[in-house]
Structure 1
Amino acid sequence: MSFPMALFVTVLLLIGSGFFVAAEFALVAAKRHRMEKAAAEGRRGAGAALAGMRELSLMLAGAQLGITVCTLGLGSVSKPAISHQLDPLLRGLGLPSALSYGVAFAVAMIVVVFLHMVVGEMAPKSWAIAHPERSAMLLSPLFRALVKAVRPLIRLLNSVSNGLVRLCRVTPRDELAPVHDREQLTHLVAESERLGLISAADSQLLTRSLTEPGTPVGALCVPAERITSVEGGAGIDELLR
Structure 2
Amino acid sequence: MSLALGALVTVALLIGNGFFVATEFALVAARRPRLEQTAARGGRAAGAAIAGIDELSLTLAGAQLGITMCSLGLGLVSEPVFAATLTPPIHALGLPEGAAHAAAFVLALAFVTFLHMVVGEMAPKSWAITYPERSATVLALPFRAFVTAARPVLALLNGSTNLMLRAIGVQPAWSQEVARTPEQLRSIAEESRRLGLIEDTELTLLTTALDAPRAPLSGLVVPVAEIVSVSASATPQEIIDTAARTGRLRMMLRGSGRRAARMVHVRDAYLARARGLDTTARALSHPVPAIPVGTPVGEAVATLKAHHSHLALAVASDGGIAGMITLDDLLTTLVTVR
Q: TM-score range by the shorter chain?
A: 0.7 to 0.9
Asked if residue 116 in structure 1 is aligned to residue 105 in structure 2, the reply is no
The answer for the alignment partner of 2:66 in structure 1 is: 66
> What residue in structure 1 maps to residue 126 of structure 2?
126
Q: 1:78 to 1:187 in 2, by over 3 A?
A: closer
Unmatched 5+ residue regions in structure 1? 223-241
Deviation of 1:206 after TM superposition, in Å, equals: 3.5
> What letter matches 1:214 in structure 2?
T
- Partner of 2:303, secondary structure, is coil
Using the alignment, how far apart are the partners of 1:138 and 1:201 within structure 2? 34
Alpha carbons 1:190, 1:203 under 8 Å: kept: no
Residues 51-108 of structure 1: CA deviation (Å, up to 9, x unaligned)? 0100111111011111111011100110001101111111100111121111111111
Distance in 1 (CA, whole Å) between partners of 2:208 and 2:18 is 46
Q: Is 2:182–2:210's contact at 8 Å kept on the other side of the alignment? A: no
How far apart, in 2, do the equivalents of 1:76 and 1:2 lie?
14
* CA distance in structure 1 between the partners assigned to 2:130 and 2:211 by the alignment: 33
Q: Which amino acid aligns with 1:129?
A: I
Match of 1:220 among 306, 311, 333: 311
SS of the residue corresponding to residue 63 of structure 2 reads helix
**Residues 1:191 and 1:124: Cα distance change in structure 2 (over 3 Å):** closer
Specify whether residues 90 and 115 from structure 1 end up closer, same or farther in structure 2 by C-alpha distance, changes over 3 A only: same
**Quick one: structure 1 residues 98 and 47, their matched pair in 2 at CA, closer, same or farther if it must change by over 3 Å?**
same
Q: Match of 1:229?
A: none
Deviation at 1:217? 4.9
Matched residue, 1:45: 45
- Give yes or no for contact 1:189–1:206 (8 Å, CA) kept in 2: no
Q: Which residue pairs with 1:228 in the alignment?
A: none
* Structure 1 position 168, deviation (Å): 2.5
Query: Alignment identity in percent?
Result: 48
Shift in Å, 1:185 = 3.6
Contact 1:186 1:210 in 2 (8 A): no
In the superposition, the TM-score normalised over structure 1's length comes to 0.80
8 Å contact from structure 1 (residues 57, 175) kept in 2: yes
Distance 1:93 1:173, change over 3 A: same
Distance 1:161 1:143 in 2: 21
Number of aligned residue pairs: 216
Question: What is the match of residue 160 of structure 1?
Answer: 160
Look up the match of 1:98. 98
Contact 2:20 2:63 survives alignment (8 Å)? yes
| Partner residue, 1:237 | none
Bigger radius of gyration, 1 or 2? 2
Partner of 2:298: 210
How far apart, in 2, do the equivalents of 1:7 and 1:214 lie?
65
Call closer, same or farther: CA 1:98–1:140 in 2, change over 3 Å. Answer: same
Query: Compared with structure 1, are the counterparts of its residues 104 and 190 closer, same or farther at alpha carbon in structure 2 (3 Å cutoff)?
Result: closer
Q: Tell me the distance in 1 between the aligned counterparts of 2:62 and 2:140.
A: 12
How big is each residue's C-alpha offset from its partner over 1:109-146, in whole Å with a ceiling of 9 and x where there is no partner? 10111100110011000000111111111101000001
Matches within 5 A, 1:8-27: 8-27=8-27
User: Which protein is richer in helix relative to its size?
Assistant: 1
Quote how far apart the aligned CAs of 1:209 are: 1.8
Tell me the CA shift for residue 202 of structure 1: 8.2
1:171 alignment partner, SS class = coil
User: Helix, strand or coil for the counterpart of 1:169?
Assistant: coil
What is the TM-score when the length of structure 2 is the normalising length? 0.58
Q: Distance in 1 between matches of 2:117 and 2:208?
A: 45
Cα distance between partner residues in 1 of 2:71 and 2:80: 14
Flag the structure with higher strand content.
2
Counterpart in the other structure of 2:89: 89
C-alpha distance in structure 1 between counterparts of 2:177 and 2:99, whole Å: 54
The structure showing larger relative contact order (alpha-carbon pairs under 8 Å, at least 6 residues apart) is 1
Deviations 1:168-224 (A, max 9, x none): 2222123244755xxx348867999xxx947x99887542321322354548269xx
Counterpart AA for 1:153: V
Aligned to 2:169: 169
- Which consecutive residues of structure 2, in runs of 5 or more, have no partner in the other structure? 190-202, 215-295, 314-338
